[in-house]
Every structure is written in structure tokens, then in C-alpha cells.
Amino acid sequence: MIELHLLILVIVVSFGFVFSYLAMKEHDLLKALALSSVQSTFFALGFYILAAPDIVLAYLAIAVGAYTALVILAISKTERYEVGE
């Protein structure tokens, strides 16, 4: 049965990697932030699978709530688009 936990973890980590790669490639910063929030949500699920309820409580509030709001504020005060090379 422990394989089931590890399989869920594999899916979570793979989606997290894919979304963080997409976030790195994205030039619109708001879209990049949304993609990295999706990655954070998957990782919160992963922390739950790893039997860490304390981390889930702190991580959900910070990585999906406060951090997103902070970076949206920063983007609204600076530039929205990243200039490519």
C-alpha cells in the first residue's frame, strides 16, 4: 500500500516540475506567478501525503495566499512583462 502513496507523490512532483519549468519559460510575469502557484498547490498535496500536517497549514497560507498577493503587488508596482533576450 505504501506504493500508492509514493505513486501519488510521483505524480505531484512531476506536475510540480512541469509547472515550474513552464513558469521559467513564461515572459508574462502574472502568468508565471499563476503557474508557480499551481506548482505550490501540488506541493501542498505532497506535504499532506508525506504526513506533515503542520507544514501543510503553514505552506498553504503562505505559498498560495500571502506570497501570491505580495508578488502581485510587486508586479503592479513595477513592470508586467519580462524583456526577452
Minimum CB separation from another protein for residue 46, in Å? Answer: 6
Minimum CB separation from another protein for residue 33, in Å? Answer: 6
DSSP labels, the chain: -HHHHHHHHHHHHHHHHHHHHHHHH-SBHHHHHHHHHHHHHHHHHHHHHTT-HHHHHHHIIIIIIIHHHHHHHHHHHS-SBPPP-
Minimum CB separation from another protein for residue 20, in Å? Answer: 4
- Chain residues that interact with another protein, rule: CB under 8 A: 1-3, 5-7, 9-10, 13-14, 16-17, 20-21, 23-24, 29, 32-33, 36, 39-40, 43, 46-47, 50-59, 61-63, 65-67, 69-71, 73-79, 82-83, 85
Cα–Cα dist 48/12, whole Å: 11
